[in-house]
């Protein structure tokens, strides 16, 4: 099992690295070159840089992720594709994407996009809180323990 992080805008990169280390799991951070960093990570962390295209990181994750891997993303489209491959998919706000909730999430995203194209203003995401961070960490640990891949 590997943990893939759609890392361009992920606020939980350090938490994922720390938790993965505790369970001896490989982490793959996928980001575009505009987020390039010379920072070195632990040996269980690999960073893959992709072109700046809007979906380049998503396509790289889809290409690499396998059934049973964990994917962390806030992108509902990527989440849907990863679910189709048999991956476990988490949002950094501390909820798991499932086959039961993905259609509703995609429909909501579509309705907001239609409204914006029609000139309406839509709400952005709520600010990320420490409570969200703790909820995410608990969910990731619980998922790793439930899958038994450590």
In this predicted model, what pLDDT tens digit does every residue of 97-139 receive, in sequence order?
998 877 676 667 555 555 566 776 767 678 899 999 999 999 9
Q: Which CATH class is domain 2-98+128-147?
A: alpha beta
Strand order across the 95-97 sheet: 45-50, 26-32, 2-6, 70-72, 88-91, 95-97
Mean pLDDT of 51-68: 91
> Which pLDDT score is estimated for 10?
92
Torsion angle (degrees, nearest 10) of CA 87, 29, 149, 63:
40
From the list 29, 25, 71, 22, the residue with the least C-alpha distance to 46 is 29
- Per-domain residue ranges for the chain? 2-98+128-147
Residue 39 corresponds to which tokens in the numbers above?
């920072």
> Which pLDDT score is estimated for 19?
97
Mean pLDDT of 137-143: 97
Which residue did the predictor score with more confidence, 122 or 51?
51
In this predicted model, what pLDDT tens digit does every residue of 62-96 receive, in sequence order?
999 999 999 999 888 899 999 999 999 999 999 99
φ, ψ dihedrals at 55, nearest 5°: -115, 10
Please say whether the dihedral angle defined by the alpha carbons of residues 79, 140, 17 and 2, taken in this order, is positive or negative: negative
> Which pLDDT score is estimated for 38?
65
């Amino acid at each position: 099992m590997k943990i893939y992080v759609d890392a361009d805008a992920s606020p939980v990169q350090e938490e994922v690295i720390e938790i993965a280390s505790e369970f001896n799991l490989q982490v793959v951070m996928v980001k575009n070159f505009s987020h390039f960093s010379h920072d070195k990570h632990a040996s269980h962390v690999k960073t893959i840089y992709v072109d700046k295209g809007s979906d380049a990181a998503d396509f790289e994750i889809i290409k690499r992720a396998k059934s049973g891997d964990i994917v962390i993303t806030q992108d509902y489209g990527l989440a849907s594709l990863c679910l189709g491959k048999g991956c476990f998919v988490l949002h950094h706000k501390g909820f798991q994407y499932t086959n039961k909730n993905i259609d509703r999430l995609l429909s909501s995203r579509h309705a907001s996009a239609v409204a914006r194209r029609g000139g309406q203003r839509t709400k952005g995401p709520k600010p990320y809180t420490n409570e969200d961070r703790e909820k995410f960490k608990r969910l990731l640990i619980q998922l790793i323990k439930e899958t038994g891949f450590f």
